[in-house]
Amino acid sequence: MTLLDEILAFNASFVRDRQYEPFKTDTLPNKKLLILTCMDSRLVELLPHAMNVRNGDVKILKNAGALVTHPFGSVMRSIIVGVYKLNVQEIAVVGHHDCGVTGLHSAEILDKAMAHGISEVTLSTLKNAGIDFENWLRGFDRAEDGVRQSVDMIRRHPLLPPRLPVHGLIISPATGKLDLIISGYETVKK
């Protein structure tokens, strides 16, 4: 049985047995909060439990490193939709210790891509077309740097309300302990 077959077989019984009942909710987040966090698999269940977040409470965005890498990229687009269409009134960027993006450089990823059969010609064609791999595939040195960078990018965005609180936190992927790096309430006071 493939993984996909397993998922589909499980899903058929999930729906048949009405196991979705406890998850019923609507589209607006009860806590009016949007969380941007990392795709790390240790956080899949740990983060919602550690933050007391249940189905329907928040919008959650995930990517590698909880990073906003571009002011007009897909993460910021989702944040803007969240704020203006889905009643989001606070944002929390939640990075974590021991992140896979720490110390990431494009050379490592591109070497692996070549080991998987992507040709050097393809890479140089993309570079010549203006793709800045070094910037695009860059990580951070410390989780805190990534959180500060993302919080800054959101807080200074020209299309977001200046008084929108943007918090920065770091979660332990082992214990779920949160460390507050930036309180958005303090920042909007200034």
Would you tell me which residues interact with Zn ion (CB under 5 A)?
A: 38, 40, 99
Q: How far is the CB of 173 from Zn ion (least distance, A)?
A: 8
Q: Which is nearer to Zn ion, 86 or 109 (CB)?
A: 109
Q: How far is the CB of 119 from Zn ion (least distance, A)?
A: 30
Q: Which is nearer to Zn ion, 82 or 146 (CB)?
A: 146
Residue type, 8: L
Measure the CA–CA gap between 95 and 62, rounded to whole angstroms: 10
**Closest Cα to residue 34, out of 68, 70, 73?**
68
Provide the sign of the torsion angle of the four alpha carbons 151, 152, 158, 162, taken in this order: positive
Q: How far is the CB of 2 from Zn ion (least distance, A)?
A: 27
Residue whose structure tokens are 């200046």? 162
Q: Which is nearer to Zn ion, 32 or 62 (CB)?
A: 62
> If DSSP codes are grouped into helix, strand and coil, which group holds residue 70?
coil
